[in-house]
């Protein structure tokens, strides 16, 4: 019986991986903006794979503010919460609160049931480029990277790549430093995240969500870091709207 169980796991996983070697959109980072973008793109008929380096998808939602697992959102985000069936409580001054664990779980469930493939513990260590365009990601197991083992990676080809890695904006930084490309930022490079200013950070997260290079997009805090926006802490409305916005931008660019 034990042998059969192992065979079931291996067969099912490699069917899933093999079917995801070529996708429409590769999303790196399963935080809120990446998960929301993934669901929207999948519902529009696009083939989407999400690569998350940690064991648990969900990004920074789980812990809420300082491990108080509640998050804050603006009231204009309520329709998105209702779309996912997420309970919320009214606060004051146009804000609501929601249970962080429920929100993270709902975003993951929503993406998967829209047809998104999520690969956890997989680290994207490089980009693939052809003729001035980002056209895929280079993946390896995160434990391999952490142990600094010399193990060659695999490649996922895609029409678009979304950097949803949060504060470090890992892929965009990699593209700028390693490939030497000029980004669509005021300086042509990653500008770096500014200190916390919640209200400003919320609005700039959405404003900074954009295509930074052909085939390469940024959402959430990765967009803010690239464009020099402010940090905003455990308030997530801007992240949700950023995911919706970037899905629309990608759809416009990859339509036949």
CA atoms within 13 A on the CB side of 155: 8
Residue ranges of the annotated binding site for Fe cation are 152, 167
Distances in Å between the alpha carbon of 162 and those of 8, 25, 102, 170, 252? 32, 7, 25, 11, 14
Return the closest-CA partner of residue 211 out of 256, 247, 157: 247
Provide the β-strand partners of residue 165: none
Distances in Å between the alpha carbon of 128 and those of 77, 104, 135, 184? 35, 30, 6, 19
* Residue 189, token pair as written in the block: 């490079």
Supply the CATH number for residue 244's domain. Answer: 3.50.50.60
Instruction: State pTM to two decimals.
Output: 0.96
pLDDT in tens, the chain (256 residues): 999 999 999 999 999 999 999 999 999 999 999 999 999 999 999 999 999 999 999 999 999 999 999 999 999 999 999 999 999 999 999 999 999 999 999 999 999 999 999 999 999 999 999 999 999 999 999 999 999 999 999 999 999 999 999 999 999 999 998 888 899 999 999 999 999 999 888 999 999 999 999 999 999 999 999 999 999 888 999 999 999 999 999 999 998 7
Residue ranges of the annotated binding site are 33, 60, 124, 150-152, 167, 221, 231
Task: Find the helix packing angle between 220-227 and 237-254, rounded to 10°.
Answer: 80
Domain that holds residue 103: 2-254
Residue ranges of the annotated binding site for glycine are 231
Residue ranges of the annotated binding site for NAD(+) are 33, 60, 124, 150-152, 221
The domain total for the chain is 1
Return d(Cα 217, Cα 164) in angstroms, integer.
Answer: 9
């Amino acid at each position: 019986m034990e042998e059969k169980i192992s065979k079931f796991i291996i067969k099912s996983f490699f069917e899933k991986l093999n079917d995801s070697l070529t996708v429409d959109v590769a999303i790196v980072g399963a935080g809120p903006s990446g998960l929301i973008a993934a669901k929207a793109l999948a519902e529009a008929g696009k083939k989407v794979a999400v690569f998350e380096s940690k064991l648990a998808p969900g990004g920074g939602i789980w812990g809420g503010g300082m491990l108080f697992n509640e998050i804050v959102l603006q009231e204009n985000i309520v329709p998105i919460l209702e779309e996912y069936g997420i309970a919320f409580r009214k606060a004051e001054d146009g804000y609501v609160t929601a249970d962080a664990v429920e929100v993270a779980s709902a975003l993951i469930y929503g993406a998967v049931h829209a047809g998104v493939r999520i690969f956890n513990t997989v680290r994207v260590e490089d980009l693939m480029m052809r003729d001035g365009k980002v056209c895929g990601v280079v993946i390896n197991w995160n434990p391999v990277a952490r142990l600094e083992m010399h193990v060659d990676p695999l490649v996922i080809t895609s029409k678009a790549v979304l950097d949803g890695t949060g504060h470090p904006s890992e892929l965009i930084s990699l593209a700028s430093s390693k490939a030497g490309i000029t980004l669509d930022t005021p300086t042509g490079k990653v500008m770096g995240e500014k200190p916390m200013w919640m209200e400003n950070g919320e609005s700039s997260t959405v404003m900074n969500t954009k295509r930074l290079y052909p085939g390469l997009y940024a959402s959430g805090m990765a967009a803010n870091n690239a464009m020099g926006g402010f940090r905003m802490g455990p308030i997530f409305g801007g992240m949700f709207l950023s995911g919706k916005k970037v899905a629309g931008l990608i759809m416009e660019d990859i339509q036949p």
